[in-house]
């Protein structure tokens, strides 16, 4: 009886082919296997958050930053897609030369970065963090007079900074803090500010679940005391270039900067660094210059002021639309825009109101040491005010402002005020021009232009003015005393002045 032969296994040819292929190219197969295994490990690590990397990561970070680093509790690390680190507790030490207890201690912290920013920072560039959020945070930021800071962790010598870049705090795409404190000591800008944050947990923007923060200390040598109330997140630092979609949070700020009282009620996407604000503003104090200094703006010394209106700030562009602007005896309204980061800064917009007193412009038109122009003509009763014009202040910024004032007061009894004044004020590279000037004075009209060039030595004044039906004796009283020899000028004149 014949026994049937066994049927060949269908898998045997495939196994034979695999053995044959491996025998022909063993290196290729080994390499492919290793690459596949590595890809599987990377995929698993990215999905699981690299739990086995805690200890090696501590050593790598500590070695690269040259300060002690501790990661405690649950740790999740992602290196490829949206690189980020989530840690239950993070401790980063500070170099001993800065005399700070630590740089950062945080609980339930999430840190996101971009590898390009890391590369630039390692080469001495500014430290930029894409996003940082923490339920509890305690930070000590210190910078010495030589420009070295404890947040320049392990970086090369910092690149030279422009004067406008002197603030140089770490920039953030987004920084959100639940509660904690930030101590900032900066010898370069003469700052010693303590920020205390108090609030409940959560990230949803809501007016009910509020946060409170206090800022106390000194900034640009001026005493600072502010109280901040915000929605359920408190976005302290944002970088407008990278966080244009940061949420607007309801914010109320109240307090004092030096002797200036401040009240802001509106929204904010950033409170420090480069602010992003929009809301109502009330500011009152002894001089506009006191308000400008801590903000890095350029404004003149003035008498006491009371300013109210709508304020917007984004990417260094300030816009103020006033409902009330009382400066000394001046009563004004305006819609002004100030570009802070252009060189030089630039002011544009419109200025209107029932009265503008030249004395309220302070040293820009000449004033005494208290910022008040002397109203009297002088001991010899001259018709025109004898005050020194602050020529260097004309180069502090550029301007293009449309002006319409009901009354312009010269601040002296020797001259009648101009009424229904309209002009375009242009300040360009130290040259002040009043274009399309027209006004009513002493039953007549004045039209033309005038300019002052502070670049020349001595300064050059140019005027092209036409007078029509002006009562000269009524306008410039005492221009020619009754006791002076010669004939008095006609009481009504139609003439032109071209100088």
Q: What is the pLDDT of residues 71-91, one digit of tens each?
A: 999 889 888 888 999 999 999
Q: What is the pLDDT of residues 96-122, one digit of tens each?
A: 999 999 999 999 999 898 888 888 877
What confidence score (pLDDT) does residue 390 get?
Answer: 61
Cα–Cα distance between 111 and 81 in angstroms, integer? 14
User: For residue 270, what are the contacts with CB-CB under 8 A and spacing of at least 6?
Assistant: 235, 236, 237, 238, 240, 243, 246, 276
The answer to whether residue 486 scores a pLDDT higher than 50 is no
Which of the residue ranges 243-252, 289-298, 399-408, 414-423 would you say has the lowest mean pLDDT? 289-298
Token pair belonging to 3: 């026994």
What 436-439 contacts at long range (C-beta under 8 Å, 24+ apart), as own/partner pairs, is 437/465, 439/408
Model pTM above 0.85: no
CB atoms within 10 A of CB 274: 18
Q: Which helix (H) or strand (E) holds 457?
A: none
Tell which wins on pLDDT, 486 or 70.
70
Q: Where are the alpha helices (DSSP H) in 417-469?
A: none
270 vs 434, which has greater pLDDT? 434
**Residue 320 above 80 pLDDT?**
yes
Cα–Cα–Cα angle for 111, 114, 120, rounded to 5 degrees: 115
Per-residue confidence (pLDDT) for residue 106, from 0 to 100: 94
User: Which residues, other chains included, contact 245 with Cβ-Cβ below 8 Å and sequence gap of 6+?
Assistant: none
pLDDT at residue 220 in the model: 82
| Continuous segment of H or E residues that includes residue 59 | helix 54-65
Angle at alpha carbon of residue 414, lines to 409 and 418, rounded to 5°:
30
| 3-class secondary structure, 72 | strand
Looking at every residue in the chain, the average pLDDT score rounds to 79
**Model confidence over 174-188: pLDDT tens digits?**
777 878 899 999 998
Q: What is the mean pLDDT of residues 8-17?
A: 56
Confidence class for position 474, pLDDT limits 50, 70, 90: confident
Q: Which two tokens stand for residue 308?
A: 């109210």
d(CA 137, CA 103) in angstroms, rounded, equals: 11
Nearest to 263 by CA among 307, 305, 300: 307
What is the band of 450 on the pLDDT scale with cuts at 50, 70, 90? Answer: very high
Cα–Cα dist 89/357, whole Å: 60
For residue 295, pLDDT over 50 is answered with yes
Contact predicate 237/272, CB 8 Å: yes
> Which of 263-267, 314-318, 462-466 comes out lowest in average pLDDT?
314-318
Share of the chain above pLDDT 70, in %: 73
Residue with tokens 């989530």: 86
Instruction: Give residue 124's pLDDT band: very low, low, confident or very high (50, 70, 90).
Output: confident
| Res. 139 pLDDT band, cuts 50 70 90 | very high
Give me the mean pLDDT over the 345-362 stretch.
88
Q: What is the pLDDT of residue 492?
A: 54
- Segment 113-137 shows an average pLDDT of 83
Q: Would the pLDDT of 142 be above 90?
A: yes
Q: Is the pLDDT of residue 4 over 60?
A: no
Q: What is the pLDDT of residue 202?
A: 41
- pLDDT tens figures, 196-248: 988 654 444 444 556 788 999 998 888 999 998 887 566 666 655 555 666 78
One-character DSSP codes across 153-222: TT--SPPP--GGG---PPEES-EEEEEEEEEEEETTTTEEEEEEEEE-S--S--SSS-EEEEEEEEETTE
CB half-sphere exposure, 467, CA atoms < 13 A: 19
Decide if pLDDT at 379 tops 50.
Answer: no
Tell which residue, 231, 244, 362, 340, has the closest CA to residue 295: 340
pLDDT digits (tens, 9 = 90+) for 20-76: 655 666 666 677 677 777 778 777 777 777 888 888 888 888 888 889 999 999 889
Q: Which of 203-207, 430-434, 440-444, 490-494 has the lowest mean pLDDT?
A: 203-207
pLDDT of 188: 87
Indicate the pLDDT class of residue 424, thresholds 50, 70 and 90. Answer: very high
Tokens of 21: 């292929």
Is the pLDDT reported for residue 497 higher than 90? Answer: no
Confidence class of residue 165 from pLDDT cuts 50, 70 and 90?
very low
């Amino acid at each position: 009886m014949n026994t049937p032969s066994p049927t060949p296994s269908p898998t045997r040819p495939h196994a034979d082919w695999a053995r044959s292929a491996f025998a022909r190219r063993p290196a290729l197969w080994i390499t492919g296997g290793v690459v596949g295994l590595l890809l599987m490990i990377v995929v698993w690590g990215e999905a699981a958050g690299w739990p086995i990397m805690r200890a090696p990561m501590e050593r790598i970070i500590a070695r690269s930053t040259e300060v002690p680093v501790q990661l405690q509790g649950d740790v999740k690390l992602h290196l490829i897609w949206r690189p980020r680190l989530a840690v239950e507790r993070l401790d980063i030490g500070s170099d001993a030369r800065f005399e700070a207890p630590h740089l950062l201690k945080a609980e339930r912290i999430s840190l996101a970065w971009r590898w390009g920013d890391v590369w630039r920072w390692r080469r001495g560039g500014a430290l930029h963090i894409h996003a940082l959020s923490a339920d509890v945070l305690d930070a000590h930021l210190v910078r010495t007079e030589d420009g070295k800071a404890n947040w320049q962790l392990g970086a090369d010598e910092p690149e030279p900074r422009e004067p406008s870049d002197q603030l140089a705090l770490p920039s953030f795409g987004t920084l959100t803090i639940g509660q904690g404190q930030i101590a900032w000591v900066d010898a370069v800008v003469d700052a010693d500010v303590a920020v205390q944050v108090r609030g409940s947990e959560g990230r949803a923007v809501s007016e009910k679940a509020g946060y409170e923060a206090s800022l106390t200390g000194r900034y640009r040598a001026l005493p600072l005391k502010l109280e901040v109330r915000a929605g359920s997140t408190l976005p302290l630092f944002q970088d407008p270039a990278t966080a244009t979609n940061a949420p607007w949070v309801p914010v109320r700020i109240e307090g004092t900067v030096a002797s200036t009282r401040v009240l802001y009620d509106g929204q904010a996407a950033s409170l420090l660094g480069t602010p992003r604000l929009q809301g109502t503003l009330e500011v009152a104090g002894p001089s506009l210059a006191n308000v400008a200094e801590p903000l890095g703006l350029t404004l003149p010394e003035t008498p006491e002021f009371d300013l109210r209106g709508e304020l917007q700030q984004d990417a260094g562009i300030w816009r103020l639309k006033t409902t009330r602007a009382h400066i000394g005896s001046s009563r004004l309204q305006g819609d002004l825009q100030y570009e802070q980061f252009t060189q030089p800064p630039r002011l544009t917009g419109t200025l209107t109101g029932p009265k503008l007193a030249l004395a309220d412009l302070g040293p820009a038109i000449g004033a005494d040491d208290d910022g008040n122009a002397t109203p009297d003509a002088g001991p010899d009763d001259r018709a025109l005010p004898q005050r020194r014009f602050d020529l260097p202040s004309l180069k502090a910024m550029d301007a293009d402002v449309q002006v319409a004032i009901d009354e312009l007061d010269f601040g002296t009894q020797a001259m009648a005020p101009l009424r229904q004044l309209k002009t375009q004020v242009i300040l360009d590279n130290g040259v002040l021009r009043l274009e399309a000037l027209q006004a009513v004075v002493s039953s007549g009209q004045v039209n033309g232009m005038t300019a002052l060039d502070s670049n020349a030595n001595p300064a050059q004044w140019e005027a092209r003015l036409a007078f029509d039906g002006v009562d000269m004796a009524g306008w410039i009283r005492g221009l020619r005393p009754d006791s002076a020899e010669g004939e008095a000028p006609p009481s009504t004149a139609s003439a032109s002045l071209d100088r």
